[in-house]
Amino acid sequence: MKKILLAIATAVTMLSLFSLSGCEKVSNTAKNIQSDWVGLDRKIEIYSCYSGKLIKVIKGNIRLNQDDKFANGASFLVNGKKMHTNMCFIVQEIGIKEEAQ
């Protein structure tokens, strides 16, 4: 009887762990769909790849345009207008707080 209860408890624990890990995946998938279809409030910082100097900061409703294929660059849709760059850049979602390290 104890073995059966232990097996049931183990099965319930494993099922709980698997179902909770699925919530994170569902949340990430929903965020990716929102980003692809609507865009997100983001900030792009464009830097010189040689000196590391900040060149430009762009804020707005930004989508990463993955349909355009560039050998050394990226394409963005910024407030409905297309922007191409082959510079170094950082894309950050507005509203995310950075943690001090």
Residues in the chain: 101
d(CA 17, CA 1): 25
Assess whether 30 and 15 both reside in one domain. Answer: yes
Structure token pair of residue 31: 């965020």
pLDDT for position 27: 65
> Considering the domain boundaries, does residue 98 fall inside one?
no
Q: Which domain holds residue 8?
A: 1-38
**pLDDT at position 31:** 65
The answer to whether residues 26 and 58 belong to one domain is: no
Digit-by-digit pLDDT tens for the chain (101 residues) are 777 877 787 777 666 656 655 666 666 666 666 666 667 788 999 999 999 999 999 998 888 776 666 667 788 888 888 888 888 888 888 877 666 66
Residue whose C-alpha is closest to residue 35's, from 63, 68, 58: 63
65 Cβ contact list (under 8 Å, min separation 6): 74, 75, 76, 77, 82
One domain, residues 44 and 2:
no
Query: Based on the domain organization, do 56 and 43 belong to the same domain?
Result: yes
Instruction: Identify whether residues 45 and 87 lie together within a single domain.
Output: yes
Look at the pTM and tell me if it is higher than 0.75: no
With respect to residue 82, please indicate whether it lies within any of the assigned structural domains.
yes
